[in-house]
Structure 1
Amino acid sequence: MAATLALLIPFFGLILIGFIAAKVSRQRADALGWMNIFIIYAALPALFFKLVSRTPFDELTRLDFIFTQLAAVYSVYGLLLIAGVCWRKASLGESVIQAFGGAYGNIGYMGPGLALLVLGDAAATPVALIVCLENALHFVVAPAMMALALGDERPPLRLVGDVLKRVALHPFILSTAAGFAVAALGWKLPVPLGQLVDYLAQSAAPCALFAMGVSLALRPLKRVPMEIGYISAAKLILLPMLMYALMRGIGGFEQNWVHAAVLLAALPTATNVFVISQHYGVWQERASATVLITTVLSVLTLPVVLYLVSAGFLSAEGMP
């Protein structure tokens, strides 16, 4: 267990450093702007390109894996959406954000660095598939559902076109597509360009985690609504359990792939959930609280998941 905890110290340590730096410096939230631009438009795209472009192309076409992974994520999403509308009697817009709070993990900022550190380079392919394709689907589902909830006045075809355009031009998607092309064609980048990609990729996790800590500090917790309790349980407990059950039940996946899917499923709520809520002006304060609370609780839950992985309790043995 000590070795497991040691793996998490750099990640939560960087978040804590960012949190403390924000509290001490008392900078305004907009001071983080250029850091976020660097992370979203340079560092993380370089990391995704690196992961995908250096992976054998046949491994990038494992549709059975990504469909299984997305089925687990959107099963939890659908459950929370129904709970919000039917049980909590929330509006559709609020229920959409609540559902994302329990299904959309911090796979971009925390996922690649943690999974590669814990599982090694063998996890690069499943991590790349999850991060890129799950994010792409979220970028489609979020605006589509919020348009339905808020009564978007744009004609349906224009709405679809705007959503697809936004997805296609997102830096994560462009870098992933470029990585797929390089992998398919078997190209090798010139050494100087490859070194630039490596430098940017290496900066992705530290910068992203530091920025995450700053963001948490600048959105203080004011109250804890009742629904955040079951949303947190769904994100940190139900989703990784369901992910493992589906991966093992369907079978045919290597152990590192199963472990990568479970580990990324166990991550706390993505800061993008707050960004979505802020963009549409729906459930903003509670979305911020969900990100903060799940991140704090993951200090307790992630060591358990890592221990189960390292101790062999999440074995893929017996799969077809």
Structure 2
Amino acid sequence: MVFEVIGPIFFLLALGYLSVKCSLLSKEQVGTIGAFVIKIALPALFFQSLASKDLHQIWYPGYFFVYTGVTFLLYGMAYWLLSTHFKNNMSQTAVLSLGAGMSNTGLIGTAVLSLLVGQNAMTYTSLIVIIESVLLIPTVLVLAQLGSSQQKANIGDIIKNTLLTLLKNPLFAGVMLGIGFAIFQIRLPHQINDVLAMLGQTASPLALFAIGGGIVGMSLKYVNAQSFYLVISSNLVMPLLTYFGLRYLTDVSQEMLYAGTIIAALPMPTIFAMLGQVYGLNEKTLTPLLMSTILGFVVTGVLISLWWA
């Protein structure tokens, strides 16, 4: 069972890496594949999967609130340390702290959990996508804009622009529409359901392929205490806190306990590097992202070996 799960994951990562490394595809073309996954395939997958369920099958408040608490605890700790100890300014701190408390839930989490638990993966990942897209990312964007010397808009304008950005996010739209259909018991016509299902089936393999191709060209140029702190927080502390929080503060199933912990152990999200580029933090985000990608897959592989052996 372990090899059946881990084998395809690393094979697809390696295939994506070698496709770019051997010039079969350019990094830009692989980036387009990643964009297709995040903007079309994953939203279709979340929408189709969630819309076919009842609300009690997708809403687990204990799971949601524990993961939210862990996320913001680690973000808050990172914000304090990065600003006071590592002397980053407000915008830099807001962006860099994201690496300490957010995983690549959409791309990698969906791909890995789909192999482990099938359709239940959508429930576990969708709740965390809500935490990240509705609560965490807007917080990061507002704080980063407030700290930017080039952006002097008032707080109302910043919040308005952040909300508009959120509403334009296809992944967020897919999750919220799916939950809405579940709440009001609206069932999709089978033709539309079949089309969305076919699109969704491409999400997991293409996501891993795109992640592998995206690693090409990344380097460890900014290995220091700050990078190590972010990676340890993201890939070791976060899964530990999530595991103990879910185990002792909730009555979730064993499968949900394991799924939440694995999501927390995954590599940092690609949006971490994207925001780093916007705020002039290229190497300060790319280096911990690469370190996290390596360590995250190691930790995830160990957890899968322990729990799905």
- Relative to the length of structure 2, the TM-score reads 0.92
CA distance in 2, matches of 1:61, 1:298: 27
Give the corresponding residue for 1:318.
none
- Please state if 1:277 is matched with 2:282: no
The Cα of 1:27 is off from its aligned counterpart by 5.7
Give the corresponding residue for 1:13.
11
Asked whether the 8 Å contact 2:114–2:204 carries over to 1, the reply is no
The Cα of 1:223 is off from its aligned counterpart by 4.2
Supply the AA of the counterpart residue of 1:237. L
Asked whether the 8 Å contact 1:105–1:270 carries over to 2, the reply is yes
Give the corresponding residue for 1:260.
259
The Cα of 1:261 is off from its aligned counterpart by 1.0
Instruction: Write out per-residue CA displacement over residues 177-234 of structure 1, whole angstroms, 9 at most, x where no aligned residue.
Output: 2212221222322222111111111111111111111211133333423321122111
Give the corresponding residue for 1:219.
218
Change (3 A) 1:68 1:302: same
Tell me the SS of whatever aligns to 1:214: helix
Unmatched 5+ stretches in structure 1: 312-320
Asked whether the 8 Å contact 1:54–1:183 carries over to 2, the reply is yes
Asked whether the 8 Å contact 1:122–1:256 carries over to 2, the reply is no
The number of residue pairs the alignment matches comes to 308
Instruction: Write out per-residue CA displacement over residues 127-165 of structure 1, whole angstroms, 9 at most, x where no aligned residue.
Output: 221133323323312211211221431122111111111
Asked whether the 8 Å contact 1:19–1:217 carries over to 2, the reply is yes
- Aligned residues: CA RMSD: 2.0
The Cα of 1:26 is off from its aligned counterpart by 7.5
The Cα of 1:28 is off from its aligned counterpart by 5.1
Supply the AA of the counterpart residue of 2:87. K
Q: Which moved more, 1:6-15 or 1:171-180?
A: 6-15
Give the corresponding residue for 1:149.
147
Give the corresponding residue for 2:92.
94
Instruction: Write out per-residue CA displacement over residues 229-250 of structure 1, whole angstroms, 9 at most, x where no aligned residue.
Output: 1221111111000001111221
Supply the AA of the counterpart residue of 2:289. V
Unmatched 5+ stretches in structure 2: none
Supply the AA of the counterpart residue of 2:146. L
Q: Which moved more, 1:93-102 or 1:270-279?
A: 93-102
CA distance in 1, matches of 2:201, 2:26: 27
The 5 A counterparts of 1:293-312 are 293-310=291-308
- Please state if 1:168 is matched with 2:180: no
Equivalent residue in structure 2 for 1:287, among 285, 298, 306: 285
Change (3 A) 1:203 1:304: same
Supply the AA of the counterpart residue of 1:37. A
